[in-house]
Amino acid sequence: MITRLSAAEISQQLKSKQVSAVEVTTEFLNRIESQDSLYGAFLAVDREKALAEAEAAQASIDAGTAGPLTGVPIAVKDNISTLGIETTCASKILKGYIPPYDATVVRQLKEAGAVILGKTNLDEFAMGSSTETSAYKLSHNPWDLTRTPGGSSGGSAAAVAAELAPLALGSDTGGSIRLPASFCGLVGFKPTYGRSSRYGLVAFASSLDQIGPLAKTVEDAALLASVTSGHCDLDATSIKAPAISTEKLKSGTLKGLKLAFPKEMFGEGTDPEVRKATEAALDALRKEGATVDEISIPTIPLGVTTYYIIAPAEASSNLGRFDGVRYGFRSEGQGHIDVVAKSRALGFGHEVKSRIMIGTYALSAGYYDAFYIKAQQVRAQMTQQFLDAFADYDFVVSPTAPVTAFQLGELSQDPMAMKLLDYCTIPANMGGMPAISVPIGFANNLPVGIHLMAGPMRDEELLAASFAVESLFQVEPKRPNIA
C-alpha cells in the first residue's frame, strides 16, 4: 500500500513512474475520507486543490525536474497560513478566516512540488500538550484511540501515525512537535530558532516558536526540513544561513559520540517504565561506541515555571490582535469596548484566556521586574549552562517525555501535570537549539522517544546522529494496529 511507505519511498516510486502523483494523492485523500473520523487529525481538506497540485507535480516529474518532495502529500498544522484554505488555529475566534497569502514554509513546499492535503487539528493557538483544548474536535492516538496523540501538534502526529499523510508540519514552542512524536512513535524535529521562517505562522510566543516536521523516519524529517528552511526576508528573526542540508545525513555514526545525560532530566513525574526504556537505550548507545556521561544542569527543574511566565507574556501581546473587529469571530455589543470584550470572551477557550491573563499579569506594573525579568534571567542562565555542556559534548540526551500517551481527559483537572509533560523539551526552545525525538521502543505497550539536543546551527550533525540512532533501534517498521 502506498500509504504505508515513507516519503522517501513514495518519492522514489514517483520518479521511477511506478505510480503517478495523482494516484498517490487520491490514495491519501480517500484514506482521510474513510478513516479520519477515528482519529480527528484534520480540520480542513481541500480535495480539489490537492489534486490540482498533484497534476502540476506530475508534469514536473514527466519533465524530469522533480525534487525530493515533488508529488509527495503533506499535512499542515492549522496555525500555519494557507492561501485560500481556512486557518483557524483550532479556535472559534478565527472560524471562517481564509488567509490571503501562504506562509513561507507553505510557499517553499509548493515550489518544491509537494501536495498540501489539508490542515491538521491542534490545541487552540498551540496552547496545550494533548490537543484537548481544540475548539472543534479531539484528536486520538492511533496506537490507542482512548489516548491523546500529544500536543499541540497532535493532529499532525495522528495524521502521520495513522497513515493519512506521509509527512506533516507542526510548530514547537515548548515541545509541541517532539512530544506528539514521542507519544505516536514518530520522528519530530525542531530546527535551530530562525532556521525555518516563522512568516505566516500565527504567533503564540515569538521568541520560542519554530516550525518543523513530523515524519515516520529521520530521512523523511530531514527531507522536509531541507525544503522548509533557509533565510526569509519576511521574517525578522530568520537567520542568514542556507537551507538545512541532507548531504551527510547517512554518514553519521554512534562510535566516538560524546553524549551528556543531565541527571535532572529524570524529574519527579518520570514514569518508571519510561525511565527503564531510556536507561536501556543509553546502554545500547554505549555498546555501539558512544560515551554517555551523567552531568548536572541545575536550571532544568526551573524550566517549566520559567516557560510559563515567558510564553504567556508573549501570548498576551500576540493575541491582542484578535479583537473581533478585523477578521474572525465577532460578537454584537454596545459600543467598541463591549464588542471586543464579548468577542474575546466567547471566541477564546479557557486555556487561551488563562494564559493571556497570566501573561498580562506578569507584564503589569509592579510585577514585570518580579516575574518577567527574573524569568528571562533564568532563561539566559539555562542557555549558558547548556552551551557550556556543548563545549565538552556533542549532544545532550534525555527522554522526550516523562510519560507515555495518557488517556484523553485523564489530566484535564490537573493543569500542572499537563504542563510538566514539556519538562524535557522546554530547554531547547529557551536556548533556540535544535532538538529531535526519535522512537526507541515501548513502555506500557506505547511508544517512547529519546530526545537529542545540539548546539545552535548544528542541525545537520544532529540529524546525522539521529539517523544512526534510528538505525540502531529500528522501531519504524512497527506500526499501530490501524485499518
Catalytic site residues?
77, 152, 176
Q: Alpha-carbon distance 260 to 453, whole Å?
A: 10
Helix H segments across 187-230?
Answer: 218-227
Q: Alpha-carbon distance 123 to 145, whole Å?
A: 17
Q: Alpha-carbon distance 81 to 100, whole Å?
A: 9
**Would you call the peptide bond into 466 cis, given omega within 30 degrees of 0 as the criterion?**
no
Q: Alpha-carbon distance 65 to 72, whole Å?
A: 14
Give the closest residue to 139 by CA, choosing from 152, 126, 479.
152
3 state SS for 296-351: CCCCHHHHHHHHHHHHHHHHHHHHHHCCCCCCCCCCCCCCHHHHHHHHHHHHCCHH
DSSP 80: B
Q: What sign results for the dihedral spanned by CA atoms 69, 477, 51, 36?
A: negative
3-class DSSP state for residue 336?
Answer: helix
Q: Alpha-carbon distance 83 to 101, whole Å?
A: 5
Q: Alpha-carbon distance 22 to 35, whole Å?
A: 20
37 burial type by CB count under 10 A (0-12 exposed, 13-18 middle, 19+ buried): exposed
Cell numbers linked to 457? 546551527
Dihedral angle over CA of 116, 213, 415, 331, nearest 10: -30
Distances (CA, A) of 260 to 285, 390, 393, 477, 478: 12, 9, 6, 28, 28
Q: Alpha-carbon distance 361 to 340, whole Å?
A: 19
